[in-house]
């Protein structure tokens, strides 16, 4: 099975700091991969490299067989890679529906001329896709409300719905459980696993080790920009190098 996304020797330097240092890994279709590591390990930088927000110093990223490491974020997104951000980033002065519709417009597209003169197939497709994504996260009944009025927990789902409206092949989630309490985190974990069972490949950065270990099929561990482990959760949990990176104990 060829990989959905293949990261080879990816390196990013910021001045003297090597934020991501020769990382290679891959995600196969349908996989749910966790990405963990201590603060400053380079997890978010790796996500930014994959999604085009940061250019790699060297190395390549191939998505569905094609190199994407020189593409702009919107071009990568259009190829079927959706991401969320570490700190919730919704469009506060737009309705819940309109927030999610941006994901669908980004994927399907609507030109200015279509907006002025357009009759409809595209518009109906965007509407349908937006409703489908809202349904999936259970926000349909709040579609007309201003996004800023949603609770913190609901906004997390709004952000995911926006990504789902893009109908991505790979969804990368940057700390989705940050700021959620235990029961909310458990609910979110169930939801992420459900999405994955429906066939969506997911990459997940998370601090909550229990969450990562309980739902992922494979865990990649970064420390100081380098990959120190890449294996099944149970194996990684027992890996001395991982324990040392996290706890600072000599193994």
Partner 1 sequence: MSDLRRLPLVPLALVVVVFGAVPWVLTLFGKGYFFQVADLILIFVLLSASLHLVTGVAGLLHLGHAAFYGIGAYVAALMGTELKLGFLWGLPAGGLAAAVLALIVALPTMRLVSIYFAVATLAIGQMIHTVLLNWVAVTKGPNGVMLFSGIRLFDIPVKGPLAVYFVVAVVVALSIVAIHRLGHSYYGNALRSLREDDQCADAMGVDTVRLKIEVFTLSAFFAGLAGGLWAYTTGYVSPQDFNFSNSILILAMVVVGGLGSLPGAIVGAVLLILLPEVLRGFGDLRNVIVGLVMFGSILFLPKGLIGEVSALALVRRHFVRPKGEVAGREVGW
Distance of closest approach, residue 126 Cβ to partner 1, in angstroms: 5
Among 22, 29, 40, 106, binds partner 1 (CB under 8 A): 106
User: What span, in angstroms and rounded, lies between the C-alpha atoms of 163 and 142?
Assistant: 18
Among 72, 138, 181, 210, binds partner 1 (CB under 8 A): 72
As given in the structure block, the two tokens for residue 77 are 């997104």
Q: Contact between 246 and partner 1 (CB under 8 A)?
A: no
Region 159-178 residues binding partner 1, contact defined as CB under 8 A: 162-163, 166
Distance of closest approach, residue 95 Cβ to partner 1, in angstroms: 7
Q: Contact between 86 and partner 1 (CB under 8 A)?
A: no
Among 35, 68, 82, 221, binds partner 1 (CB under 8 A): 82
Q: What is the CA radius of gyration of the chain?
A: 19
User: What span, in angstroms and rounded, lies between the C-alpha atoms of 234 and 5?
Assistant: 23
Q: Please, where are the H alpha helices in 12-83?
A: 43-51, 73-78
Q: Which is nearer to partner 1, 158 or 189 (CB)?
A: 158
Among 12, 83, 136, 227, binds partner 1 (CB under 8 A): 83
* Burial of 72 from C-beta contacts in 10 A (0-12 / 13-18 / 19+): exposed
As given in the structure block, the two tokens for residue 9 are 């020797």
Q: Which is nearer to partner 1, 128 or 241 (CB)?
A: 128
Checking phi first, is residue 210 left (phi over 0); if not, alpha (psi -120 to 50) or beta? alpha
Q: Which is nearer to partner 1, 130 or 185 (CB)?
A: 130
Selected range binding partner 1 among 17-25, 36-44, 54-62, 113-121, rule: CB under 8 A: 113-121
**Given the DSSP bridges, would you call strands 5-14 and 17-27 parallel, antiparallel or unpaired?**
antiparallel
- Across the chain, the runs of DSSP E, i.e. the strands, are 5-14, 17-27, 32-36, 58-63, 66-67, 81-83, 170-174, 201-205, 218-223, 226-231
Among 78, 178, 213, 243, binds partner 1 (CB under 8 A): 78
Selected range binding partner 1 among 9-17, 20-28, 80-88, 190-198, rule: CB under 8 A: 80-88
As given in the structure block, the two tokens for residue 222 are 């970064």
Distance of closest approach, residue 158 Cβ to partner 1, in angstroms: 12
Task: Enumerate binding residues for partner 1 (CB under 8 A).
Answer: 51, 53, 72-75, 77-78, 82-83, 85, 89-95, 97-98, 101-107, 110-112, 114-116, 118, 123-124, 126-127, 130-131, 140-146, 162-163, 166
């Amino acid at each position: 099975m060829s990989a959905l996304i293949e990261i080879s020797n990816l390196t990013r330097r910021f001045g003297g700091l090597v934020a991501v240092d020769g990382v290679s890994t891959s995600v196969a279709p349908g996989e749910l991969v966790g990405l963990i590591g201590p603060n400053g390990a380079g997890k978010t930088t790796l996500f930014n490299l994959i999604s085009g927000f940061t250019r790699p110093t060297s190395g390549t990223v191939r998505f569905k067989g094609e190199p994407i490491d020189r593409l702009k974020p919107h071009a990568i997104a259009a190829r079927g890679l959706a991401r969320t951000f570490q700190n919730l980033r919704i469009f506060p002065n737009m309705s819940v529906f309109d927030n999610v519709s941006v994901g669908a417009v980004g994927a399907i597209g609507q030109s200015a001329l279509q907006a002025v003169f357009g009759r409809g197939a595209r518009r109906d497709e965007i509407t349908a896709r937006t409703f489908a994504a809202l349904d999936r996260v259970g926000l349909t009944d709040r579609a007309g409300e201003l996004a800023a009025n949603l609770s913190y927990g609901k906004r997390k789902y709004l952000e995911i719905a926006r990504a789902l409206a893009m109908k991505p092949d790979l969804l990368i989630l940057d700390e989705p459980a940050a700021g959620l309490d235990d029961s909310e985190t458990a609910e979110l974990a169930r939801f992420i696993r459900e999405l994955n069972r429906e066939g969506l490949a997911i990459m997940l950065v998370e601090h909550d080790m229990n969450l990562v270990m309980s739902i992922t099929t494979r865990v990649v561990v970064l420390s100081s920009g380098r990959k120190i482990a890449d294996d099944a959760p149970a194996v990684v949990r027992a890996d001395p190098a991982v324990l040392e990176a996290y706890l600072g104990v000599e193994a």
